[in-house]
């Protein structure tokens, strides 16, 4: 549900960030701000334009679940390795270590979707879909 509401904001943000052809000269920019970009995207591309990258965005919802799963698994294995009860609380340093490692795992697993999503939302490139983005990015 969150993605349904926020995808137009992410498309707009990506478009604003990728106005690299205009550089510093604001008179050459395609979009003058958030509202201007939302209106222009809707006007020229319709509702589909505001939902570019939606399918890859669905993979982003798994980020939190992957991090939580990795954290619990790391904590459990670490406690077993230390011959402690599996559900024993960690020290502050151990907690930070497990949290950092689980975050690294989740980011590594889900980062590729962000590349695909941003490329679909880029106004400078045209792709026929997710498979086309992956194929062209792989090259």
pLDDT class of 21 with cuts at 50, 70, 90: low
Same structural domain for residues 65 and 108?
Answer: yes
Cβ atoms of 78 and 98 within 8 Å: the answer is yes
Buried b (16+ CB within 10 A) or exposed e, 98-124: bbeebeebbeeebeebbebbbbbbbbe
pLDDT class of 41 with cuts at 50, 70, 90: very high
pTM (two decimals): 0.63
Q: Which domain holds residue 64?
A: 54-139
pLDDT score recorded for residue 108: 93
Which SS3 state, helix, strand or coil, does residue 25 take? coil
Same structural domain for residues 42 and 95?
Answer: no
Same structural domain for residues 129 and 81?
Answer: yes
When divided into structural domains, the chain yields a total of 2
| Phi and psi angles of residue 25, each rounded to the nearest 5 degrees, phi first | -70, 100
pLDDT class of 24 with cuts at 50, 70, 90: low
Same structural domain for residues 48 and 58?
Answer: no
Same structural domain for residues 102 and 60?
Answer: yes
Same structural domain for residues 11 and 65?
Answer: no
Same structural domain for residues 68 and 128?
Answer: yes
Same structural domain for residues 33 and 61?
Answer: no
């Amino acid at each position: 549900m969150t993605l349904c509401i926020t995808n137009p904001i992410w498309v707009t943000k990506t478009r604003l960030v990728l106005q690299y052809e205009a550089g510093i000269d604001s008179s050459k920019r395609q979009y003058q701000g958030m509202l201007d970009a939302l209106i222009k995207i809707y006007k020229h591309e319709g509702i589909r334009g505001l939902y570019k990258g939606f399918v890859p965005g669905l993979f982003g919802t798994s980020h939190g679940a992957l991090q939580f799963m990795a954290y619990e698994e790391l904590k459990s294995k670490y406690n077993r390795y230390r011959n402690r009860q599996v559900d024993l609380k960690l020290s502050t340093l151990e907690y930070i270590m497990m949290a950092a490692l689980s975050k690294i795992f989740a980011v590594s697993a889900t980062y590729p979707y962000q590349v695909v999503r941003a490329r679909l939302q880029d106004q400078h490139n045209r792709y026929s879909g997710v498979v086309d983005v992956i194929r062209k990015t792989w090259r």
